[in-house]
Every structure is written in C-alpha cells, then in structure tokens.
Amino acid sequence: MNKLKPLTLLLSLLLALISLPETSAASAVELTPAVQAAFDLTAATAVPTVRARLNEAYAELAALKGQYDDREEQIRKLHYSNQQELIVVRKQIKGIDLAKVSRLETVYATAKQKYQPLFDQYSALNRRIRLVKGLKDKTLNAVLRSQADAMKLLVQLAREDISGKLSQLKAAKDARSKKVTAVRQTLAGMESPQISIKSHKSTVTALNKRVSADWSDFKAAIRKQNTVLTSQSLSSLVSGYRQIAASKQKIIELEQKVAGVISSAKKQAEA
C-alpha cells in the first residue's frame, strides 16, 4: 500500500532532478533529459490540440536554446578577433613612416654635426676680424677678409644643405602625422557600432533575467503537471529567446561592422 506505482515513482524522480539549483544565470535554461521527460508527462495529460502546441513550442525552445549558444560563441570569437586585430593596427599606427622619419632625423643631425666645424671656424674668423680692426693693419685685415669672403660661400652652401634636410624632415613628419590622423579617424568609425553593441548586450542581460524567471515558472508548472501554466511559461520562454536571438544577431552584425572598420584602418596603415 505504501509502494509507489512505477509512473508515480518516475515522476517523483524527475521532479527531484529538475528541482536542483541552477549553477549560473547563463545556464538558467537547461533542457536536460529529466526536464524533457517531465514535460512529456505533462504534455501527455493535455488534449491532442494543446499537446501539439506544447510539443511545437518546446521544440522551438530547444532550437532557440541551441541557437543562443551558437551565437554566443560566434560573438565571443568575433569580439576576440577584433581585439587582436585592433592591437595589430595600433602597433601599425605607431610605426607609420617611423623608419623614414628616423632616417631623415639622422641625416639632419649628421649634416649639422658635419658642418659645425666650418661654422665654428667662420665665427672665429669674424671675431679675429673685429679684433684686428682697431689695429689698423691693412694687410692683415685684407687677408682675413679675403678668407672670410671665401668661407662665407661655403657657410651659405652648408646652411642651405642643412635647411634642405630640415625641410625634408618636417615634410616627412607632417605626412606621417596626416597618415596617423587619417587612420585614427577611420578607427573612430568603431564608436557607433560599439555603443549599439553595449545597448544590445544590456537588452540581452535584461531578457536573460526574464527568461530565468520564466524557466522557474516552467519547471514549477511541469512539476504540478499544469498544462495551462506550462503553456504560458513556455510561450514566454520562446518569446524571450526570440528577442534574445534578434539582439544577438544584431550584435554579430555590429561586431562584423567593427571588423570592417578595423580592416579598412589596417589597409590604410599598411599603405
């Protein structure tokens, strides 16, 4: 008399299994064999038309749950790839025309160093001219001025050479600055999709909380074999997962848009 009938025993075991606490919000909905069996027992008590609707909704929930996991993984991979590519592009930005600018800096510095002795000699010669001017030594004055005139042309050519090399250096730095700015402006195109991604992720978080509550209602309904509550909670679960699927698909598209922006910036930096 105290012995449970096989069906009752099976139901009790299933109810115990589906009542186990969830491990995390991310895995709130787990369509385990125990849940499936408890649902089947509940659906079996419904009239054929209701049973068909319940089975159809459960099948859609299972499909949406699989899609949820697939899209979550796709988003994770896209986001990681974008992060890695962004690191590469930012490194490229730092290296834009850097070798050229460094080479011209060396050329400019070398030229200044090369001509400095000439400038020093010219300055020293002019100081001597000023010093001997008061001595009224016309011969010495004439010799020094002759030397200064000859050296003046060399100094002028040296200064022109240095000035030319400085102009090349400045032009290279300006060109580099423009290229860097252009690439950074391209990368700024990530801002809009990233803001949208954040918004859709907030939506998914809110929907996940709703789904978690609906899942608790669903398990309670199949524990009680209440087909009305099972249908209501299942319908809400499917609706929630549809909205999550839409948001996740949008996130995927936005991450792809970010990838396109990074790719364009990368090509610019390589040019």
* Per-residue pLDDT tens digits for 160-176: 999 999 999 999 999 99
Q: Are residues 87 and 193 in the same domain?
A: yes
**Residue 160 has what pLDDT?**
96
SS3 of the chain: the string is CCCCCHHHHHHHHHHHHHCCCCCCHHHCCCCCHHHHHHHHHHHHCCCHHHHHHHHHHHHHHHHHHHHHHHHHHHHHHHHHHHHHHHHHHHHHHHHCCHHHHHHHHHHHHHHHHHHHHHHHHHHHHHHHHHHHHHHCCHHHHHHHHHHHHHHHHHHHHHHHHHHHHHHHHHHHHHHHHHHHHHHHHHHHHHHHHHHHHHHHHHHHHHHHHHHHHHHHHHHHHHHCCCHHHHHHHHHHHHHHHHHHHHHHHHHHHHHHHHHHHHHHHHHHHHC
CA angle 233, 236, 237 (to 5 degrees): 85
Give the pLDDT band of residue 5 (cuts 50, 70, 90). very low
Q: What does pTM read for this prediction?
A: 0.76
Q: Are residues 193 and 159 in the same domain?
A: no
Which residue among 172, 187, 202 closes a domain? Answer: 187
Report the C-alpha gap between 175 and 171 in whole angstroms. 6
Residue 116 lies in a domain: yes
Residue 236 lies in a domain: yes
Residue 25 lies in a domain: no
Which residue among 187, 213, 236 closes a domain? Answer: 187
Q: Are residues 128 and 144 in the same domain?
A: yes
Residue 24 lies in a domain: no
Task: State which residues form the domain around 150.
Answer: 96-187
Q: What are phi and psi of 221, to 5 degrees?
A: -65, -45
Q: Are residues 141 and 199 in the same domain?
A: no
pLDDT digits (tens, 9 = 90+) for 209-263: 999 999 999 999 999 999 999 999 999 999 999 999 999 999 999 999 999 999 9
**Residue 74 has what pLDDT?**
95
Domain count, the chain: 2
Q: Are residues 130 and 176 in the same domain?
A: yes
Which residue among 157, 187, 217 closes a domain? Answer: 187
Q: Are residues 120 and 168 in the same domain?
A: yes
Q: Are residues 64 and 82 in the same domain?
A: yes
**Residue 81 has what pLDDT?**
96
Q: Are residues 183 and 193 in the same domain?
A: no
**Residue 248 has what pLDDT?**
96
